[in-house]
Structure 1
Amino acid sequence: MDLLIKGGRLVSGEPADVLVDGGAIVAVGSHPGAVADEVVDAAGLVVAPGLVDGHRHVWQAPLRGIGADMTLPDYFVAVLGRALDAYTPADAHLATLLGAAEALDAGITTVFDWCNAAKTPEHLDAVLDAYATAGIRAVVAHAGPGQEAAAEVLAGLRGRVRGGLAILGPQYGGWDDSARQIRLARDLGMVASMHLAGGFGAEPDAPLTRLHEAGLLGGHLQLVHLNAMTPHEARLLAESGAGVTATPVVEGTMGHGASPYTRFAAAGGRCGLGTDVAVNAAPDLFEPMRDTVRRHRAETGTMAPAGSVLAAATIDSAAAIGLASSVGALTPGHRADLVLLSGLAHVRGDVSSALVTTAGPADVHTVLVDGQVVKRAGRLTSLDLPKLREAAVPLAILATDH
């Protein structure tokens, strides 16, 4: 056995050991006689699935905080204009390393990277090389020119880093291009992701209606934001199995509208969560979970259990990006992507609600990806986060110096 996480407590409250071999969870429960090459002492810690960030523009990590008051048009000019245009492959490599380090530090073990930075084959190679170094699990969703050629490369990826497509979609791009890109992703066994507002009603040319009628909705498609989604659209998406991901902190900060979480849940869907952009949001999933709890309780008029939202940042987020069979749950057969949290030893019974409402990055004690310890006792093991932040300072100037 490669690894034994000993003496911890599951989110559900039960004391348990976790046995890991070959990067996968092989057993969860009481194993007093278990022997392993490495033992992680989890006494006093809560053992949870690693968090899954279903929508993150990882390359924007160096720009953290520069857009607290940006409107969407401001963002297009400063971030998708000045900063992105100036990024070299070396910049993309550094930015990806920084974004991965910030994610791991916050207990995020998987990111769906909506990768605008893969502007050329050289940029894509730099991004993939950064992920090979970082130790995080990632779906690199290629956006921009040369997507067909990049798709062939990304479709061949196996293991910790996989490929996907990031497309404009029918709201922001042409219908023919969108349909072709969605079919390409489906044919290659990848997820295609798009930003979409929703709220188009039953008009025959509404994007969601057209996608439904063309047979393009399904588990190969992830839709992000959907702040104006109608109940009818929510039912269409839930029935189709398409992934839905909300980024409530950024959506609220930039005035996109109310999170679709409650509407999608009412239709039988299960919404994932993402951090989106670091220009105006923290690079962790704790505040998105809390924002979701507050709004869901307000919209339903109930005291819905806060702990139920943990699924949105783990297994439901994994499902929305096509990884539910391998990550997002403490289940034998799943990859050993785990987070050990401190500060909750005094909470009796199920700790999921306490985790969602009170935990934060400072409570992330230990993190594992594929059974490898990437953060131990509060410190990243192979990435130097302060040095990466210092090295990336000049990249922020690309967006702010004008």
Structure 2
Amino acid sequence: MKEDFYDILGVSKNATSAEIKKAYRKKAIEYHPDKNPGDTKAEEMFKKAAEAYEVLSDPDKKAKYDQFGHQAFEGGGFGGGGMNMDDIFSQFGDIFGSAFGGGGFGGFGFGGGGQRRVKGSNLRIRVKLSLEDIANGVDKKIKVKRKKVAAGTTYKTCGTCNGQGQVTRIQNTILGRMQTATTCSTCGGSGQVVDSRGSGSDSMGMMVEEETVSIKIPAGVVDGMQLKVSGKGNEAPGGGIAGDLLVAIEEMPHEQLQRDGDNLHYDLYISFSDAALGTSQEIDTVSGKVRIKIEPGTQSGKILRLRNKGIPSINGYGSGDLLVHVNVWTPRHLSKEQKEFFQRMKTDENFEPKPEKQDKSFFEKVKDMFS
């Protein structure tokens, strides 16, 4: 089981964004590779801290994590996990200020003389899923148009910033000498410029290509949830890090079933005769059709609970239930003979309402449904 993100950073669930940032900075400095050369355990802790910070520093991701745990971001390469060193240094280098050599991470492009590496832009797509897909999990193959470095394109070190990606200027002011660093306008911060452009590429040596991406979607996802496929966004020029593919889940409505969290609801209509005599009915579930038994004397509004026939919990806590709502259908049009029959039954004691203890009220049924 993965370690809790709050425990990794040593903060409470009520910690502010400033406290989370401060805790991450402390952990990352403690386990930074420059301070722990060759220490694989420290490197692992360094990655864990970055993974935790990536989620807890983002309000949307933090809300999903608080609700669904690690499962909100996992399943075939999704989520906050799987960060490598390039990801960490690219995204969070500015947090460290002068902690390492006056500009962040030594040897990884944010100070210490290393070459700056930029990350390509993310791509966003929306995937429509049926209720059956959500219940069982599904592998999707999606065609994505992404920017890639064109074949034959080569790069060289930017002469303006000497590969740093930043231009440093020193100014004399009334307060003394002030040093500022800005993104290099020549290379856009990558530290690289095009040396030779491949055929059909743009000014940065990039071209758009269509690629089929395999996406493994875990069971139990919810509408609006966003999953991440690392490294399947746009590539960055000059050997930078590829962006990510962000996959937004859209749940399509089902003709018969209504979702309520992990539970499903089904409206079953039966006739007076079936309610009085009993019957069996075939109904839809997300795993196929099942036949259920309607006992003689079943009252309208009765709820039949089919255990574990709902949606699997994304946290791995089993599955929800299928709640079948029995509705006795009252005919609107009666023949002369039918009217005469019901007229005779008006005074029949078997047709007089006589609710028993097991015939719960509407409010009791609602209470049971949500218990």
TM bucket normalised to smaller: under 0.3
Larger-gyration structure (1/2) = 2
Higher strand fraction (1 or 2): 2
TM-score by length of 2: 0.23
Task: Select the structure that is richer in helix.
Answer: 1
If asked which structure has higher relative contact order (CA below 8 Å, sep 6+), I would say 1
